[in-house]
Amino acid sequence: MYGPEDLPPVVLSNAERETDHPLMRAWLDTRVYQSFSREEVRDIVDPAYMGLIKQLDDEMGRQLDYLEETGRMDDTMIVFSSDHGDNMGDHWLGGKDLFYDCSARIPLIVYDPRAQADGRWKSTHVEGFAPLLYDLETDADELIDRAGNPDCADHLQRLSDALFHWSRQHHTRTTVTAADMDRRAKGKEPPGIYIGFWDEAELVAAGKKLPDNAAG
C-alpha cells in the first residue's frame, strides 16, 4: 500500500549525534536507536506504520457509517485520542520516548451531541500556577488568556469544578505499583520479545535466540 517514496522527510541532524547531554547519549546507545538510525529500517517499518493508520481510519469510517445509518449519532459521544505518537526515525530515534513533537503530539477530537455540551471554553490547569482560559469561538488560535477577566469567572469556575470532580474518580488512581509490575514480569520482557532487534542475525550476535515455537 505504501512504500519509501510515500514517506515524509525524516527530521534529524548529524549534530544531534554529537551531543554531550547524558540523557541523549543514553538514548543514542539503545538498540532501538541503532535500528532506526538506519535508512533501510525506516523504509520498511514506516510504510507499515502508515498502513496501520490507514486501517484505523477505515475502521473508524465503518463505525461512523453505522452510527449514522442507525440514528445513533444523536446519542453517542465519540472521543478519539492516543496515548503517544512515535519517533519513527526522527531525531535518530524509534519508539515513543522523549518529548519531541512526533512523540508527544497526539490527536484529541471530541464529538458530544448533547445540547448542554459546551465546546466553546477551554481551561488549562497546571498545579501551582494560575489557570489559563480561552474562548475558542472568538479566539480559535488561543492567543488571548481570559482567566483574569472577571466577565469569564463563571466559565473558569465551572470548568475547574468539572476537572476537580473528574480527578476524584476511580480511573485516575494507580492500582498496581511499578515494583509489583516488575515482580510479575520477573524483571524482563516475556520470552521471545526482543525490543529493537532488527533480525535474527542481531539476536545471535547478542547471544539471544528465538523460542523454539517461533522458529521458521
Is there a domain that residue 39 lies in?
Answer: yes
pLDDT of residue 179: 82
Is there a domain that residue 67 lies in?
Answer: yes
Is there a domain that residue 161 lies in?
Answer: no
Is there a domain that residue 54 lies in?
Answer: yes
pLDDT band at residue 41 using 50, 70 and 90 as cut-offs: very high
Residues 142-161 have pLDDT tens digits of 999 999 999 999 999 999 99
147 neighbors 134 (Cβ within 8 angstroms): no
Residues 162-174 have pLDDT tens digits of 999 988 877 666 6
- Statement: residue 47 has pLDDT above 90: yes
Residues of the domain holding 53: 1-114
pLDDT band at residue 28 using 50, 70 and 90 as cut-offs: confident
Is there a domain that residue 119 lies in?
Answer: no
The count of structural domains within the chain is 1
Query: Alpha-carbon dihedral of residues 56, 57, 61, 63, nearest 10 degrees?
Result: 20
Alpha carbons 151 and 147: distance in angstroms, whole number: 9
Residues 52-110 have pLDDT tens digits of 999 999 999 999 999 999 999 999 999 999 989 999 999 988 888 888 899 988 998 99
Q: What letter represents residue 18's amino acid?
A: E
Could you tell me which residues are beta bridge partners of residue 108? 81
Average pLDDT over residues 12-35: 87
Is there a domain that residue 216 lies in?
Answer: no
pTM of the predicted model as reported, rounded to 2 decimal places: 0.69
Alpha carbons 152 and 135: distance in angstroms, whole number: 9
Is there a domain that residue 193 lies in?
Answer: no
pLDDT of residue 111: 92
Instruction: Collapse the DSSP code of 141 into the 3-class scheme (helix H, G, I; strand E, B; otherwise coil) and give the result.
Output: coil
Is there a domain that residue 205 lies in?
Answer: no
pLDDT band at residue 24 using 50, 70 and 90 as cut-offs: confident
